[in-house]
Structure 1
């Protein structure tokens, strides 16, 4: 597994290689010629390192899915992170607080989202270590920013991102369908009736 990664990607079981190919193809399309990706040793989970800002990468994915809902066949979810650190509570706390200071303004709300795999670390311990130092209000439903912690074995990816930067392909497909339905109905309202169009 890559020691340094800034994208954590969920896929189907036994489709990890197809997922990596899809990441490479999309990366080259948006100008990232040096994306690196690897399996994690866990089924359905891949990590990657883009040379772009990871949030820019996922925002471009969002645009792609909204315009072409079936472009991605193997990527299910993609989460950007900003740094990779040893998976200890102390290192995760240090990284998260440093990013939070830079990326969360005093008026913004936040939530901490922790996923732990192949590790004995406890989710509550990590959340407490980070939240106990922050003065901002917590919003679990509609936070302005999400403090992301992705623990995989002895490495942890940490990021502070907008909720919209965490991409669920299925949710976006539903959003795309809604947008299409809305634009079609608006088009029908605005279009002339057949008998008046000659």
Structure 2
């Protein structure tokens, strides 16, 4: 299925609930206005990828609002992360995208790089070093304005520039009120 190369949402679920989380993701995205939503399991336990025609960050905000009004609809999804770029998992591709996405950081904005690595031999420290060198902005590890998020999923990497709040953590949202 081509969704692995075209996904823009990464969904975490508990082990064994991947199929249910994929179906739940599609239903929820359709409920917030995406009639073409797709989701599928991948070879990594506890993860599902999805594709939405909505802006990924907008989809997260709509899903957050839905979670506040109808929390019972979120049975299998634990966390949803928006992703803006999907590239092969190699240093050159990751560096190239990160140089391009540096334009999404304001001149005075601070950033942090977070790498979540699964099924890859690349070292997180090397990825961080290469990416940080390609972004001419100030690094701030605690409370940055933006996070350069790199999700390594075997041979594919999903990358985004997000605010820390752009990730939807279902449990945190439920207990934050």
Structure 2 portions without partners, runs of 5+:
none
Q: TM-score, normalised by structure 2?
A: 0.94
In the TM superposition, residue 13 of structure 1 has moved relative to its aligned partner by 0.8
Aligned positions, number:
175
Aligned to 1:95: 97
1:158-177 per-position Cα deviation (integer Å, ceiling 9, x unaligned): 111111111111111111x3
CA distance in 2, matches of 1:135, 1:127: 14
RMSD: 1.3
In the TM superposition, residue 42 of structure 1 has moved relative to its aligned partner by 1.4
In the TM superposition, residue 135 of structure 1 has moved relative to its aligned partner by 2.7
Choose from 19, 23, 26 the match for 2:25: 23
In the TM superposition, residue 147 of structure 1 has moved relative to its aligned partner by 0.6
The answer to whether structure 1 residue 47 and structure 2 residue 80 are counterparts is no
CA distance in 2, matches of 1:77, 1:23: 11
CA distance in 1, matches of 2:71, 2:52: 22
Contact 1:119 1:152 (C-alpha < 8 Å) held by counterparts: yes
In the TM superposition, residue 86 of structure 1 has moved relative to its aligned partner by 0.7
Paired residue secondary structure (2:160): strand
Q: TM-score, normalised by structure 1?
A: 0.84
Aligned to 1:32: 34
Structure 1 portions without partners, runs of 5+:
178-198
Higher strand share: 2
In the TM superposition, residue 140 of structure 1 has moved relative to its aligned partner by 1.9
Larger Rg: 1
Aligned to 1:7: 9
Contact 2:39 2:49 (C-alpha < 8 Å) held by counterparts: yes
